[in-house]
């Protein structure tokens, strides 16, 4: 089992955040703002993954599949592209 301390060490890289922001056409952002976004996105991803894990566990699986992830995202009120 992963501890909260271990989770805190793993954060989405700010370079990726900068790349997403630039690709969206927003422009530039400071390192500090990218760090805030990265921490927020990491925390959201962890919550989504934990919810998806509940669905996979309920189905008797150890691996989160596409359907588990899609349902978890929908439960958080977000729209998911159909595949």
For 69, the domain range is: 4-75
Asked, for residue 81, whether it belongs to a domain, the answer is no
Asked, for residue 31, whether it belongs to a domain, the answer is yes
Q: What is the pLDDT of residues 20-75, one digit of tens each?
A: 999 999 988 999 999 999 999 999 999 999 999 999 999 999 999 999 999 999 99
Asked, for residue 80, whether it belongs to a domain, the answer is no
pLDDT at 77: 86
Asked, for residue 57, whether it belongs to a domain, the answer is yes
Instruction: Please report, for the domain that includes residue 17, its CATH number.
Output: 1.10.20.10
pLDDT at 8: 60
Question: Token pair of 60, please?
Answer: 């008797």
Question: Token pair of 27, please?
Answer: 């422009």
Asked, for residue 27, whether it belongs to a domain, the answer is yes
CB atoms within 10 A of CB 14: 19
pLDDT at 73: 94
pLDDT at 81: 73
State the total domains in the chain.
1
**Hey, which bits of 2-78 come out as E strands?**
none
């Amino acid at each position: 089992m992963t501890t909260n301390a271990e989770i805190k060490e793993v954060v989405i890289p700010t370079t990726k955040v900068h790349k997403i922001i630039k690709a969206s056409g927003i422009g530039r952002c400071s390192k500090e703002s990218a760090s805030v976004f990265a921490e927020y996105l990491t925390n959201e991803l962890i919550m989504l993954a934990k919810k998806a894990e509940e669905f996979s566990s309920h189905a008797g699986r150890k691996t989160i599949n596409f359907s588990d992830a899609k349902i978890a995202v929908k439960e958080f009120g977000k729209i998911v592209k159909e595949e």
